[in-house]
Amino acid sequence: MLDPLADEDVQVDQDDPGLLFTAAYNSFAGPVFGYLRARGVDDPEAVTQDVFLALYPRLDSLQGGLQGARTLLFSIAHARMVDHYRKRERRPDSTPYESELDARRAPSAEDQAFGRASGVGVTELLEGLADDYREVLALRVVADLSVEETAAIMGKSQGAVKQLQRRALSALKKRAHRTNGTS
């Protein structure tokens, strides 16, 4: 019997949708969550679960095994992210968190884990980038998708994705240098 916790390079028996679903979840739940979080979805855990719930009924017609599931998962995740922003546009603005008004004295667990004193994280660095730049970085770096998969999800050519990624990384590098006070 195939271990669903095995590496994604192992071929999964497509005749058993439960086993394929388990292997897909174990392999891609983290990257899907990371993609949604990097794209600014308000509740990435819930949306990640929705993505996997949308995957399950499609497993019978899925082609390509685990890699096919990966592509389908990130296509669903991308669509859910777009839906999130469309829904957000129809909602009134909420009050943002203001750290200077927070009376707590202990640093956040995230700052402690990453050893950051300044509190500037990946999300903050990505905020100032153009939408296409954030999207290509989220798909290529966070979700670890190929150029071909990213191009299909974004509806762009592979060359355009490569160029966007190069420009996005350059812009991100400049922002990081400015944030850290280096040239």
Q: For residue 8, count other CB atoms closer than 10 A to its CB.
A: 15
Please give the C-alpha separations between residue 60 and each of 10, 48, 65, in angstroms, as whole numbers. Answer: 19, 21, 11
Give the C-alpha separation, 23 to 16, whole Å: 11
Report the pLDDT value the prediction gives residue 81, as an integer from 0 to 100: 92
pLDDT at position 155 over 90 = yes
Closest C-alpha among 36, 48, 43 to residue 135: 36
User: What does the pLDDT look like over 18-73, one tens digit per residue?
Assistant: 899 999 999 999 999 999 999 989 899 999 999 999 999 988 888 888 999 999 99
Kindly report the number of other CB atoms within 10 A of residue 48's CB atom: 25
Helices 44-55, 65-89: axis angle to 10 degrees equals 130
Q: Report the candidate in 37, 33, 58 with the shortest Cα–Cα distance to residue 48.
A: 33
Asked if residue 136 lies in contact with residue 165, where contact means CB atoms within 8 angstroms, the answer is yes
Q: How far is residue 55's CA from residue 71's CA, in Å, rounded to a whole number?
A: 11
C-alpha closest to that of 31 among 14, 53, 52 = 52
Q: Are 140 and 147 in contact (CB under 8 A)?
A: yes
Own/partner contacts of 26-31, CB < 8 Å, gap of 24 or more, are 27/66, 27/70, 28/69, 28/70, 28/73, 31/142, 31/143, 31/144
Rounded distance between C-alpha atoms, residue 154 and residue 132, angstroms: 9
- For 76-133, write each residue's pLDDT tens digit: 999 999 998 888 888 776 677 787 777 766 666 655 555 554 555 667 777 778 889 9
